[in-house]
Amino acid sequence: MPTVLITGANKGIGLAFAKSFAVDGWKVHACCRQPDKAVDLKSIEGNVALHKLEVTDGLRLAGLAREIIDEPIDILINNAGYFGPRMPFGETDYDDWAYTFLVNSMGPLRMAEHFVEHVARSERRLIVNISSKMGSLSANESGGGYVYRSSKAALNMVSKSLAIDLQEKGISVIAVHPGHVQTDMGGEDAPVSISKSVSGLRKVITKVTEADTGKFFNYDGSIIPW
């Protein structure tokens, strides 16, 4: 049975991914910080294993990696992300910036380091980092957003280096932009529905081959310049 591991699976894009893979008969390792409160996640039918996971907690990541040591992971989706308060130039909260890096940039690398062998032992061997167009240097035409933009730009670089380093294990790594999506983070007025984003990303993920490793995809399948 193909297996996917998703971080931040209790709501938004992560929850929709969990539902979508479960419906298609995948085994889903659904990770979130508070499984007790993950009512929507618990209501998903199918082969879903819930795990308590805070992506900044290296010890817990190591523990989970050991707990499921015998299970190959076909696709690791590093979805958990943090936006934080808006901080215009002159009002930067440096502690919040550091925390944003811990979650958005270091979290996915920590996950890759702990679960690389699970992915290497699978059929599909794919790591998907949910990034953002806000992390693209060439797409930045409006300035601002120092904290979130830089954390996702760093994630893009992490994705590129991972793609190169893990090629010898046959693992592909891509960064993806889900669109501006109607979630708690994206806001209810965002132009893209969760289902449109996730069905687009599922298509991208299905089509990706080893030749695509190290690329940055939009949810509609187009390439986003770094």
Among residues 135 and 172, whose Cβ is nearest to ligand NDP? 135
Least distance (Å) between residue 107 CB and ligand NDP: 6
Least distance (Å) between residue 40 CB and ligand NDP: 11
Least distance (Å) between residue 63 CB and ligand NDP: 15
Amino acid at 174: I
> How many Cα atoms are found within 13 Å in the side-chain-facing hemisphere of 13?
31
> How many Cα atoms are found within 13 Å in the side-chain-facing hemisphere of 224?
26
Q: What is the DSSP string of 114-136?
A: HHHHHHHTSSS-EEEEE--GGG-
* DSSP classification of residue 208: -
Binding site for ligand NDP (CB under 6 A): 7-8, 10-14, 32-34, 54-56, 79-82, 103, 130, 132, 177-178, 180-181, 183-186, 190
Sign of CA dihedral 211, 207, 16, 120: negative
Among residues 36 and 123, whose Cβ is nearest to ligand NDP? 36
Q: Which residues are catalytic?
A: 148
Roughly what angle, to the nearest 10 degrees, separates helices 12-23 and 194-207?
60
Among residues 14 and 145, whose Cβ is nearest to ligand NDP? 14
Among residues 37 and 169, whose Cβ is nearest to ligand NDP? 37
Roughly what angle, to the nearest 10 degrees, separates helices 107-120 and 58-67?
20
